[in-house]
Amino acid sequence: MRFFKDLNQSEKWEFFNSFDLVFCDCDGVIWQNLHDALPGSADAVNHLIKLGKKIAFVTNNSLIPSELQLEKFSKININIEKHHLIHPAQSIADYLESLKFNGLILCFGSPAFKAYLQDRGFQLVQGCDGLVGNSIIELRNAIYSTDVVKAVIIDVEFNCTAWKLMRAQMHLKDPECLFIAGAADPKVPFGGHDFIGKNVYAKNNESQDATERKSIVLGKPGSGLRDILLQKFNIQHKNRVLFIGDSLKSDVQFGKMCGFQTMLVLTGATKVRDLEQFAHQHEETGPDIVAESLKDIIHLV
């Protein structure tokens, strides 16, 4: 693990010439909040593009519709193709299409996430977003549905209920029912604090006393997303790819699992104290390069 600011000019050029394709996280790397870009992030991206680096954005955020995300990038003069913005809803839809999936889906996700799947032609179970009554009979009727569900998909759902998780568990008793997870962050930063992430629910369903099923994870840091990226971008030389992110687990460890080089920026989820603690415990899986922010790359070029 090296700090970018400590590299001499020769070492910076050596690093810069070691990759051709860049996968970049969004929140905490490009964006400092829902609307505002981090200073210098757009300039850094455009410098890399001008110098021939291919760039795609890989985010776990499916809360915002793709069109609005692309519009945000356009407003800060980053122009990218829609297929170069990779998010869990897109990865899951691509995966289902590759299987020629045709069936009913019980989906845990944001309105934008669900709308994306529906726009891609998939059918979702309706009427699962409310509360059930206080009687055991109403609870039983809600859990033991007669719907023939062929896939359970879990991503971010702010109003997730216990009865809906129970219903998912019942559907997953069927070995033919797919179990797919989107974003799998163990923790999610919000308002200056870390809260439980989506992977808590996926892990819960993986346990022996629940469904005895393991989800296919198609968001960071899942191996399913790794396979999609390798195929989608026809990556032949993994060591010529750089993954940039602000999370040690969702970004750096994911990049390492993929065989990519990794750069951690300290403008988001990870602070210096977190990095020091992580380095002491996981030195072999730490980032290759640490930068104060993405704008440091401007000095590289």
Residue 212 carries which DSSP code? Answer: -
Give the C-alpha separation, 57 to 292, whole Å.
19
What residues contact residue 289 under an 8 Å CB cut-off, 6+ apart? Answer: 1, 2, 3, 4, 15, 261, 262, 263, 264
**Is residue 25 flagged as an active site residue?**
yes
27, 155, 288, 296: the active-site residue: 27
* Residue 13, number of CB atoms within 10 A of its CB: 13
Judge whether 172 and 201 are in contact, CB under 8 Å.
no
6, 20, 25, 36: the active-site residue: 25
Q: How far is CA 70 from the centre of its chain?
A: 17
- Report DSSP letters for 55-120, one per residue: EEEE-S--SS-HHHHHHHHHHTT----GGGEE-HHHHHHHHHHHTT--SEEEEE--HHHHHHHHHT
Q: Is 27 annotated as a binding residue?
A: yes
**Is residue 155 flagged as an active site residue?**
no
Give the C-alpha separation, 231 to 257, whole Å.
15
Q: Which residues are annotated as a binding site for Mg(2+)?
A: 25, 27, 246
Q: Which residues are annotated as a binding site for substrate?
A: 220
| Catalytic center residues | 25, 27
Q: Which residues are annotated as a binding site?
A: 25, 27, 220, 246
